[in-house]
Amino acid sequence: PSPRSCQPHGASEEALRYEIEELRQKDLALDQEIAQLLSEGYSLEELEKHISLLHEYNDIKDAGQMLLGKLAVIRGVTTKQLYPEYDLELSD
């Protein structure tokens, strides 16, 4: 059983209310951030394109990290040791 299922009914309701309020606050903060970006001249289409490109970048980066990890295992070295060989910065 999960920790929440062991809590009294009122405690889990309170936890859910707190979680809902946190999500409402996050939603409000995101709405404010979007409004700020729109006021700076960005369009929703442009923001959606940037988000899409960031997802694509992250997918490609994850695939590269996976390949570096496999290569490191094959060579018996750490991934960090492969970075200079491929002109990568540790912050990449």
d(CA 83, CA 69): 11
Report pLDDT for 21: 95
Q: What is the pTM of this model?
A: 0.54
Residue 21: burial class (beta carbons within 10 Å; 0-12, 13-18, 19+):
exposed
Write the pLDDT tens digit of every residue in 26-83: 999 999 998 998 899 988 888 889 899 999 999 999 999 999 999 999 999 999 999 9
Rounded Cα distance, 37 and 31, in Å = 10
